[in-house]
Amino acid sequence: MNVVIDESWKPFLRKEFSKNYFESLAQFVKTEYSKYTCYPKGDRIFAAFNHSQFENTKVVIIGQDPYHGPGQANGLCFSVKENVPHPPSLINIFKEIEADLGIPYPRSGNLERWADQGILLINATLTVRAREAGSHQKKGWETFTDAVISLLSEQKTGLVFLLWGGYAKKKIPLINSEKHHILTSGHPSPLSANRGLWFGNKHFSKTNKILRDQGSSPIDW
Protein backbone atom coordinates (compact mmCIF):
# COMPACT_ATOMS: atom_id res chain seq x y z
CA MET A 1 0.00 0.00 0.00
CA ASN A 2 1.38 3.37 -0.99
CA VAL A 3 0.89 5.52 2.11
CA VAL A 4 -0.13 8.89 0.71
CA ILE A 5 0.10 10.94 3.89
CA ASP A 6 1.09 14.51 4.69
CA GLU A 7 4.78 14.99 5.43
CA SER A 8 4.03 16.42 8.89
CA TRP A 9 2.88 13.00 10.13
CA LYS A 10 5.73 10.91 8.73
CA PRO A 11 8.34 11.50 11.50
CA PHE A 12 5.81 10.29 14.06
CA LEU A 13 4.33 7.38 12.10
CA ARG A 14 7.34 6.06 10.21
CA LYS A 15 8.00 3.36 12.83
CA GLU A 16 4.34 2.31 12.68
CA PHE A 17 4.50 1.87 8.90
CA SER A 18 7.46 -0.52 9.27
CA LYS A 19 5.84 -2.83 11.84
CA ASN A 20 4.79 -6.35 10.84
CA TYR A 21 1.09 -5.75 11.49
CA PHE A 22 1.07 -2.76 9.14
CA GLU A 23 2.83 -4.68 6.40
CA SER A 24 0.19 -7.41 6.71
CA LEU A 25 -2.55 -4.76 6.73
CA ALA A 26 -1.10 -3.14 3.62
CA GLN A 27 -1.14 -6.46 1.78
CA PHE A 28 -4.72 -7.14 2.88
CA VAL A 29 -5.89 -3.73 1.67
CA LYS A 30 -4.04 -4.08 -1.63
CA THR A 31 -5.67 -7.47 -2.25
CA GLU A 32 -9.13 -6.22 -1.28
CA TYR A 33 -8.92 -3.20 -3.61
CA SER A 34 -7.74 -5.41 -6.47
CA LYS A 35 -10.57 -7.95 -6.03
CA TYR A 36 -13.51 -5.88 -4.83
CA THR A 37 -14.95 -2.40 -4.88
CA CYS A 38 -13.72 -0.72 -1.70
CA TYR A 39 -14.11 2.72 -0.15
CA PRO A 40 -12.78 5.32 0.00
CA LYS A 41 -10.74 5.60 -3.20
CA GLY A 42 -7.15 4.56 -2.68
CA ASP A 43 -5.77 8.09 -2.73
CA ARG A 44 -8.29 9.12 -0.05
CA ILE A 45 -7.50 6.44 2.56
CA PHE A 46 -5.35 8.86 4.56
CA ALA A 47 -7.33 12.00 3.69
CA ALA A 48 -7.93 12.83 7.36
CA PHE A 49 -4.19 13.27 7.85
CA ASN A 50 -3.69 15.19 4.63
CA HIS A 51 -6.29 17.82 5.54
CA SER A 52 -5.34 18.14 9.21
CA GLN A 53 -1.56 18.33 9.47
CA PHE A 54 0.04 17.15 12.70
CA GLU A 55 1.03 20.60 13.93
CA ASN A 56 -2.40 22.09 13.13
CA THR A 57 -4.56 19.37 14.71
CA LYS A 58 -6.51 20.70 17.69
CA VAL A 59 -9.75 18.68 17.65
CA VAL A 60 -10.18 14.92 17.12
CA ILE A 61 -13.45 13.24 16.14
CA ILE A 62 -13.41 9.44 16.03
CA GLY A 63 -15.75 7.38 13.86
CA GLN A 64 -15.86 3.63 13.38
CA ASP A 65 -16.06 2.66 9.70
CA PRO A 66 -16.14 4.50 6.36
CA TYR A 67 -19.52 4.69 4.62
CA HIS A 68 -19.93 1.59 2.45
CA GLY A 69 -22.46 2.94 -0.06
CA PRO A 70 -21.50 4.07 -3.59
CA GLY A 71 -19.95 7.52 -3.80
CA GLN A 72 -20.26 8.37 -0.11
CA ALA A 73 -16.91 7.97 1.65
CA ASN A 74 -14.23 10.60 1.14
CA GLY A 75 -11.75 9.53 3.81
CA LEU A 76 -13.09 11.70 6.64
CA CYS A 77 -15.36 10.26 9.32
CA PHE A 78 -19.03 11.29 9.05
CA SER A 79 -18.23 13.22 5.85
CA VAL A 80 -19.57 12.56 2.35
CA LYS A 81 -18.58 13.81 -1.09
CA GLU A 82 -20.15 16.91 -2.59
CA ASN A 83 -23.74 16.53 -3.84
CA VAL A 84 -24.24 13.24 -1.96
CA PRO A 85 -27.36 12.94 0.24
CA HIS A 86 -26.53 13.31 3.91
CA PRO A 87 -26.57 10.06 5.92
CA PRO A 88 -28.72 10.04 9.09
CA SER A 89 -25.83 10.58 11.53
CA LEU A 90 -24.57 13.58 9.58
CA ILE A 91 -28.07 15.03 9.47
CA ASN A 92 -28.23 14.86 13.25
CA ILE A 93 -24.78 16.42 13.59
CA PHE A 94 -25.88 19.38 11.49
CA LYS A 95 -29.16 19.66 13.43
CA GLU A 96 -27.25 19.86 16.71
CA ILE A 97 -24.92 22.53 15.30
CA GLU A 98 -27.96 24.51 14.19
CA ALA A 99 -29.54 24.25 17.65
CA ASP A 100 -26.27 24.89 19.48
CA LEU A 101 -24.82 27.74 17.45
CA GLY A 102 -27.64 28.96 15.22
CA ILE A 103 -25.71 28.03 12.08
CA PRO A 104 -28.14 27.18 9.24
CA TYR A 105 -28.22 23.59 8.03
CA PRO A 106 -25.60 23.34 5.22
CA ARG A 107 -26.12 22.07 1.68
CA SER A 108 -22.81 20.20 1.55
CA GLY A 109 -21.98 17.20 3.70
CA ASN A 110 -18.30 17.43 2.77
CA LEU A 111 -16.46 18.08 6.04
CA GLU A 112 -13.14 18.99 4.43
CA ARG A 113 -13.92 22.53 5.59
CA TRP A 114 -13.66 21.25 9.17
CA ALA A 115 -10.55 19.15 8.59
CA ASP A 116 -8.73 22.10 7.03
CA GLN A 117 -9.22 23.98 10.31
CA GLY A 118 -7.40 21.32 12.32
CA ILE A 119 -10.08 18.72 13.05
CA LEU A 120 -8.76 15.19 12.60
CA LEU A 121 -11.80 13.28 11.33
CA ILE A 122 -10.54 9.75 11.74
CA ASN A 123 -12.33 6.43 11.48
CA ALA A 124 -10.95 3.57 13.57
CA THR A 125 -10.99 1.49 10.37
CA LEU A 126 -9.90 3.45 7.31
CA THR A 127 -11.25 1.18 4.55
CA VAL A 128 -14.29 -0.98 3.85
CA ARG A 129 -15.61 -3.30 1.16
CA ALA A 130 -18.60 -1.91 -0.75
CA ARG A 131 -21.95 -2.66 0.92
CA GLU A 132 -20.28 -4.72 3.65
CA ALA A 133 -20.10 -2.72 6.86
CA GLY A 134 -17.24 -3.75 9.14
CA SER A 135 -15.62 -5.91 6.47
CA HIS A 136 -12.14 -4.46 7.09
CA GLN A 137 -12.32 -4.45 10.88
CA LYS A 138 -9.79 -6.42 12.95
CA LYS A 139 -7.26 -6.51 10.11
CA GLY A 140 -4.83 -4.03 11.68
CA TRP A 141 -6.44 -0.65 11.13
CA GLU A 142 -7.52 -0.37 14.77
CA THR A 143 -3.94 -0.97 15.91
CA PHE A 144 -2.78 1.84 13.64
CA THR A 145 -5.46 4.36 14.59
CA ASP A 146 -5.04 3.58 18.30
CA ALA A 147 -1.36 4.36 17.84
CA VAL A 148 -2.31 7.68 16.24
CA ILE A 149 -4.56 8.58 19.18
CA SER A 150 -1.83 7.65 21.67
CA LEU A 151 0.71 9.64 19.68
CA LEU A 152 -1.45 12.75 19.71
CA SER A 153 -2.05 12.35 23.44
CA GLU A 154 1.68 12.06 24.13
CA GLN A 155 3.03 14.67 21.72
CA LYS A 156 0.47 17.44 21.99
CA THR A 157 -1.44 19.31 24.70
CA GLY A 158 -4.88 20.88 24.88
CA LEU A 159 -6.55 18.78 22.21
CA VAL A 160 -10.33 18.43 22.28
CA PHE A 161 -11.46 14.83 21.74
CA LEU A 162 -15.12 14.43 20.76
CA LEU A 163 -16.12 10.85 21.52
CA TRP A 164 -19.61 10.01 20.28
CA GLY A 165 -21.09 6.62 21.14
CA GLY A 166 -19.82 3.56 22.93
CA TYR A 167 -17.19 2.61 20.38
CA ALA A 168 -15.47 6.01 20.47
CA LYS A 169 -15.62 6.12 24.27
CA LYS A 170 -13.51 2.96 24.38
CA LYS A 171 -10.59 5.15 23.25
CA ILE A 172 -10.59 7.12 26.52
CA PRO A 173 -7.77 5.00 28.09
CA LEU A 174 -5.49 6.09 25.21
CA ILE A 175 -5.92 9.78 26.08
CA ASN A 176 -4.20 11.65 28.91
CA SER A 177 -7.13 13.53 30.44
CA GLU A 178 -4.77 15.76 32.42
CA LYS A 179 -3.36 17.21 29.18
CA HIS A 180 -6.43 17.10 26.96
CA HIS A 181 -10.19 17.73 26.98
CA ILE A 182 -12.59 14.81 26.45
CA LEU A 183 -16.23 15.47 25.58
CA THR A 184 -18.54 12.44 25.37
CA SER A 185 -22.13 11.86 24.34
CA GLY A 186 -24.32 9.33 22.61
CA HIS A 187 -23.79 8.66 18.92
CA PRO A 188 -25.54 10.94 16.40
CA SER A 189 -27.17 7.94 14.73
CA PRO A 190 -31.00 7.97 14.91
CA LEU A 191 -31.00 4.97 17.26
CA SER A 192 -29.06 6.91 19.87
CA ALA A 193 -30.31 10.41 19.05
CA ASN A 194 -33.96 9.39 19.29
CA ARG A 195 -33.31 8.07 22.80
CA GLY A 196 -32.14 11.50 23.91
CA LEU A 197 -28.45 10.65 23.97
CA TRP A 198 -27.25 13.08 21.27
CA PHE A 199 -29.26 16.26 20.96
CA GLY A 200 -28.39 19.01 23.41
CA ASN A 201 -24.78 17.94 24.02
CA LYS A 202 -23.60 21.37 22.77
CA HIS A 203 -20.24 19.89 21.86
CA PHE A 204 -19.67 22.49 19.19
CA SER A 205 -20.01 25.56 21.39
CA LYS A 206 -18.13 23.77 24.19
CA THR A 207 -15.26 22.97 21.83
CA ASN A 208 -15.01 26.59 20.74
CA LYS A 209 -15.02 27.82 24.34
CA ILE A 210 -12.17 25.46 25.19
CA LEU A 211 -10.19 26.61 22.16
CA ARG A 212 -10.76 30.29 22.94
CA ASP A 213 -9.80 29.80 26.58
CA GLN A 214 -6.53 28.28 25.38
CA GLY A 215 -5.86 31.22 23.08
CA SER A 216 -6.60 29.20 19.94
CA SER A 217 -8.92 30.19 17.12
CA PRO A 218 -12.41 28.61 17.31
CA ILE A 219 -13.80 26.32 14.64
CA ASP A 220 -16.08 27.73 11.98
CA TRP A 221 -18.61 24.91 12.06
Going from the C-alpha of 4 to that of each of 1, 79, 105, the distances in angstroms are 9, 19, 33
Cα–Cα nearest to 90, from 103, 102, 77: 77
Q: Determine the Cα angle at 98 with ends 96 and 103, to 5°.
A: 145
The closest of 194, 33, 47 to 128, measured between CA atoms, is 33
Taking the C-alpha atoms of residue 105 and residue 25, their distance in angstroms, rounded to an integer, is 38
What's the alpha-carbon Rg for the chain, to the nearest Å?
A: 17
Which residue in the list 6, 43, 65, 220 is annotated as catalytic?
65
Instruction: Note if 43 is an active site residue.
Output: no
Sheet holding 59-63, edge to edge: 119-123, 59-63, 160-164, 181-185
User: Which H or E element spans position 67?
Assistant: none
Catalytic residues, which ones?
A: 65
